[in-house]
Amino acid sequence: MTKLDVLSIDFEFSHPKDAFVSCLEGSDINNSSPVFDPGHIVFPGLPRLLSGHTDVHLREGIIRAFADNTPNSESAFFTADLSQVYAQHARWVKNLPDVEPFFAIKSNPDPYVLRLLAGLGTGFDCASHNEIRQVLDLGVDPSRIIFANPCKPTSIIRFAAMESVNVMTFDNADELVKIARSHPKAKLVIRILTDDSKSLYRLGLKFGVPVSAVPTLLMKAQELKLDVVGVSFHVGSGCMDSNVFGDAIGRAKQAFVMGSALGYEFTILDVGGGFEDAEFEKMAAVLREAIDVHFPERKNIRVIAEPGRFFVTRAFTLAVNIIARRVVRTDGNDEETPQVMYYINDGVYGSFNSVLFERETVHPYVVTLNGSFPSSSSLAREPLVPSSVWGPTCDSTDYVCPLVKLPLGLKVGDWLGFRGMGAYTLCTTTQFNGFEPSQVVYYTSGIEGSMEASATRRVLAGMMKRESRGIMATYSAS
């Protein structure tokens, strides 16, 4: 194990991309230049886009914190590998080539993520004025937005009408009345109820009309002279059972038949979100088969989806600092009771919101041990003890990990990492007890010239040029 040396860094690095470590050796930690940056991509008001491997950026961030004596210098921070977002988009296109993704902004409205996906031509699932505004400000055409909130404030419906955001969802008669008054030219998509019992977040508890009630709502829309153009559903966020997509497509087909009986010709099938990363290929296969079975003739039907966490989860890693430590027992006999309590500088009122509200389980890994960056071999030799991990606030419910095995050698000042932190983390952060949201380091991974990294940078460079032209046009007009 190598001790952390501020000016000359010698990492025991086990990752295949060891080459990136040399970028840090002998570097000046006070120099703000990136670790390894083959292209200059920077948007006004945003951090510069760097290059390099995740572990390098984690370590450089920790080294900077170690050398900085200012308040909050050891604050938690994210690393965001945007080439992972690009890779997920490519994975989507490969497995669901006939399904247009409309990114669910609520999962992560990060400005770099939105720019990358806009440049890739995705659509956007928006639920509020601010989300619609964010997308339109990037130059995205309103036709690439679905206002997928079945229960909308009247003022925001009027705003959507002014901005020509026409496609929107509904699931009740009162919503139709509001839309008829505020956006009579809207293109409406009826949200039906499906089985979401196998998902982390059960949206059906709040939204969706039973298929049996679809004709009643469609007749109400006819009465109000509104144009219903399609059917949508959502199997719940973080769906764990791919078979529910097949059932949901079957219900959507019933709604299409009901619409046809009333004279409607639906042209949109919105299959919603819920695409779990680990099960994606299986889910995609079930979805393709179900669409082929229930919609064999779909020449005039546009199939769209609203993936969120699928695109962003794996791209973000969170580094947290152990700010306090308490040994609560010394016997080693009970494996079900924590022996050590660790307090970190992010918690359920910050990036771990899902732990509190959805009882989601997160898994920390060791980044530094006793002030050093350990190799995998040295880490494997460390004795593990039952531990618990707590957030920084004064609330006793700020409980990140109730029971986890961690090395006994972890000390105050050491760092833990959490992978897969890209969805419903930054966007759900509060400032309870005065704790600030974690900052983000943006980069593309892989060696220079790798496909994902190069393609990601090309897309963002194109967006940067587009934005600069817009700024210059505004300046000239003024």
The angle subtended at Cα 420 by Cα 367 and Cα 305, nearest 5°, is 170
Residues 6+ apart with CB under 8 A from 13: 21, 55, 373, 375
* N-term to C-term CA, the chain: 60
Which residues, including other chains, have CB under 8 Å from residue 353's CB and lie 6 or more apart? 424, 425, 428, 429
Q: Which helix (H) or strand (E) holds 303?
A: strand 302-305
Phi, psi of 303 (to 5 degrees): -95, 125
Catalytic residue from among 23, 151, 239, 394: 394
C-alpha span between 455 and 118 (Å, rounded): 14
Consecutive H or E run containing 117? helix 111-119
HSE of 279 in the Cβ direction (CA atoms, 13 Å)?
A: 16
Contact 77, 57 (CB under 8 A): no
Q: Which of 393, 403, 314 is nearest to 364 (CA)?
A: 403
Here the tokens at position 124 are 């956007």
Q: How far apart are CA 402 and CA 423, in angstroms?
A: 21
Distance of CA 281 to the CA centre of its chain: 19
How far is residue 120 CA from its own chain's centroid? 16
Q: Known catalytic residue: 126? A: no
Contact yes or no for 183/158 (Cβ under 8 A): yes
In angstroms, the CA 11 to CA 22 distance is: 9
Backbone angles phi, psi at 112, to 5 degrees: -70, -40
Catalogue the active-site residues: 394
